[in-house]
Amino acid sequence: MTLKAQASSDAKTWAQEKLSQMTLEEKVLLLCGQDLWRTNPIPRLGVSRIKTSDGPVGVRGGIFTDGVSAASLPTGVSLASTWDKEVMRDVCQVLISEAKSKEVDVLLGPTVCIPRTPLGGRNFEAYSEDPFLTGKLAAEFINSIQGAGIGACIKHFVANDQETRRFFIDEKIPDRALREIALQPFQIAIRDSNPWTLMTAYNKVNGVFCSAHDFLLQEVLRNEWQWDGLAMSDWFGTNSVVPSLKAGLDLEMPGPIRRRGQHLIEAHNQGLVDLAYIDTSASRVLELLHKTGKSVVPDWQEGQEKADDLPEHRAILRRAGGEGIVLLKNSANALPLSDLNGKTIAVLGPNANRSVSTGGGSSNLAPHYRTTPYDSLKTEVASKFPTAKVQTHAGILNHRYLPLVDPAIMQDPESGSSGFVISLWRNMTHEGQPFMVENRPSSNLVCYDGLPPELTTGERYSYRGRATITPKTSGLHEFSLSSCGPGKLVLDGEVIIEIDRHWWSPKSALFMSYGSPEERVQVQMEAGRKYDLLLESVSREPKPYDLDYLSAELEREEVQDGGRIGFLENPGNLDAFFQEAIDMASESDIAVVVVGKDHEWETETSDMVSMDLPGRSNEFIAAVAKANPNTIVVNQTGSPITMPWIDDVSTIIQAWYQGQEQGNCLADVLLGAVNPSGKLPITFPQRIEDTASFDNYPGENDIVHYGEGIFAGYRYLDHRKIKPLFPFGFGLSYTTFEYRNIRLSSDLLSGDGQIEVEVDVTNTGSREGKEAVQFYISQVNPRLSRPPRELKGWDKVFVRPGETVTARAVLDKVSVSYWDDGLDKWVMEGNAEFHVIAAQNSRDDGVAATFHSGEEYQWVN
């Protein structure tokens, strides 16, 4: 018996022993969360609890808002851009250390849903539009995390690829598209790594919510793929009592209990659900406890979370960020920057002098520290070129919502520290003594973390947030408010904004879209004067609904409360502000324009409205390029953008969101300390109309049809012969590479066999570099329609100038099979002809070899 098999056997034995001692009530208690992040313990039997935490790009810990700081990693799309499994393993060592410092047992990641549209709000979290690349990278992540005894949670099963109406949308996905695109990354990762947990998606697939989808959870996941881990709901994503349990959803998250608990006990007592279903799911929770080492920790009390900012972690994240940055254009060889002594570099744009570490939503967290492009470039230039000058100017504003109040100008009137004091009452009238008073360091006053359970499951309450505001300048300043329940914003005793009803709006500035649209007001204020700012509000009114134990579509509850206060001091004449930056560009030798989006524009709960950069960004880039021919554009987004100025600039960098090392890794690439080797894991189309989902997104009447079928991402553009702006797999280097001499270990592939493909890669440039060699498969005259080529392997190699190395990949049944919806099986056609192409990107001709399949081979897992 292997060590993994023995560990699994030990976990099952321990789970059954504990289960045999439990009452029905205790078993049911295991099937739902205790609070926002933890499962329920059973103290009587010494059964501890499991602590979960977001997520794939950092371990936030047990507090969603205003918790201890954490290492902020490059986002998923940037990690995928490295095409480097070693980088993934190194980054996971940071996550492992961070999880241990916060006593986290299960990390809620990786995110492996396939970005279907460039407008997807969570695209930055995911790896790639390609299922093979996604699945293989996810397996590397899972194996690394679980090798340290921490559970990984692969998510979101399945096709959580749009935020628009995500709690209600019904995705009509054809069988082949479901298998070859949506399910395949999960199938690959589960086969290669066996994640201990899996999270279901919010949406429906073909009429059924994923949290109660018997076909997906039972037939595919457990029967076909033989997966035996724990399936949990996405947060507040359990849509039923009995159907979800019978379908195989083991754990309702988060707590306190909503769908299960006493409801499930009553359903069992009424004969609506057999005890065997309860026992099966309870045993999986117990097995997970054993796998994470909690079976020998009968004390379920936790220590204090720690913020461990370690030098070795900084180095890993700086390297990972640099390897993910993609050089898209360098036609004038402006990069790397050199001979800068005596020269002036202008770092311009809305993202030039601020930290844009990640997108928004559940993957957002408070980094240990922040870096900016301007600060990092200035520091590195000063150390190498002491007579060079680096200056900066934003030029434009591009915030989606008013910024949160600057911590430097706000003061908690009770503690004297920066921030707000928030007080909460167990009534709706702010009367008597508050039951909780605490400092909040920001003006994002979310009411959820730390509240008593009854206040997050229905009992209403009221709250006040107070701060003293001291503006730096005089003028007409602007305040904003988004609030979940009725509330008012009061400045020096005068109500300046009032929200008079409950809201649940997709235009809210609050996370989870539970608040009102942002309301704004302008107020005349004096510099240096102290103003009393008060937010007074009440919690939302819970929705009444009839609880039917057998219903598969219970009405969704609204659970989060709070308010968000924005404040912007008068920026003055914005046209003059714009022109100041253009003047700086014209007076400088080099202009580096840093544009993009941020956690407000790209975020969970909200899709983007356009592929365009926000505000006046495109106008600004064009104006800078006209003023300075040596203009370098740096784009920070997690999704493709339009580039109407592409012919006006010689140099373009796709920098993604790089976490806390954002500025440093960008400076490394600009100055040549790192030779860029990132390659796009997503296609950059020229326009939104060229994308596969354009005619079928975001759907109508809460139904969206996946009309593109299997032709997702680059497959669609190849199929329709549409030229992309930048193809999938594209990325330049400061050196050049040549491919030749492709060869195969055999020209015949059997169903249970393998073929090794090799190609020689020569560095024909003047400096060492890394190259991600991609292997695409193309079938000649397939029986069913197939994409012209599909990625089925890659190898990232390091090559010195003039050196030749060999890149390798292994081809097998997965490389050549398609899903035959007539047979409900994967099929490798018999005696079929295939080409394998070693290429630099999906549109590169590369070098090719031919092989054939043996007898027809059909398979399922």
Name the H helices within 114-183: 131-146, 175-177
Say how far apart CA 11 and CA 285 lie, in whole Å.
10
Say how far apart CA 213 and CA 247 lie, in whole Å.
6
Q: In angstroms, how far is CA 550 from the centroid of its own chain?
A: 34
Say how far apart CA 770 and CA 799 lie, in whole Å.
6
Q: In angstroms, how far is CA 204 from the centroid of its own chain?
A: 20
- The widest CA-to-CA distance across the chain, in whole angstroms, is 83
**Peptide bond preceding 131 in cis form (omega within 30 of 0):** no
pLDDT at 417: 93
Domain layout of the chain by residue ranges = 313-401+572-719, 407-568, 737-859
pLDDT at 1: 60
CATH topology for 407-568?
Jelly Rolls (2.60.120)
**Burial status of residue 341 (CB atoms within 10 A of its CB: 0-12, 13-18, 19 or more):** exposed
523 neighbors 469 (Cβ within 8 angstroms): no
777 neighbors 811 (Cβ within 8 angstroms): yes
**Quick check: helix, strand or coil at residue 807?**
strand
> Residue 633's beta-bridge partner residues?
593, 652
Task: Kindly report the CATH number that applies to the domain delimited by 737-859.
Answer: 2.60.40.10
CA nearest 112: which of 83, 80, 88? 80
pLDDT at 455: 79
515 neighbors 482 (Cβ within 8 angstroms): yes
Residue 237 in tokens: 């994503």
Say how far apart CA 203 and CA 224 lie, in whole Å.
22
CA triple 217-222-224, angle to 5 deg: 110
398 neighbors 350 (Cβ within 8 angstroms): yes
Say how far apart CA 122 and CA 403 lie, in whole Å.
21
Say how far apart CA 732 and CA 650 lie, in whole Å.
13
691 neighbors 685 (Cβ within 8 angstroms): yes
CA triple 594-600-605, angle to 5 deg: 140
> Residue 253's beta-bridge partner residues?
none
What is the block-wise mean pLDDT of the chain (861 residues), using blocks of 10 residues?
74 95 98 94 94 92 88 98 98 98 97 97 97 98 98 98 94 98 98 98 97 98 98 95 98 92 96 98 97 82 91 98 98 97 98 95 91 98 98 96 95 94 94 93 85 78 96 96 92 95 69 77 97 94 82 79 93 95 98 96 93 98 98 98 98 98 98 98 98 97 98 98 98 98 98 97 98 98 98 98 98 98 97 98 98 97 86
- Strand 631-636 to 847-853 pairing: unpaired
- Strand 494-499 to 487-491 pairing: antiparallel
pLDDT at 300: 67
CATH topology for 313-401+572-719?
Rossmann fold (3.40.50)
Catalytic residues: 234
Say how far apart CA 344 and CA 391 lie, in whole Å.
8
Helix (H) or strand (E) run with residue 13 in it = helix 3-19
Residues in contact with 311: Cβ distance below 8 Å, sequence separation at least 6, in sequence order? none
- The pTM score is 0.96
Q: What is the C-alpha R_g of the chain?
A: 27
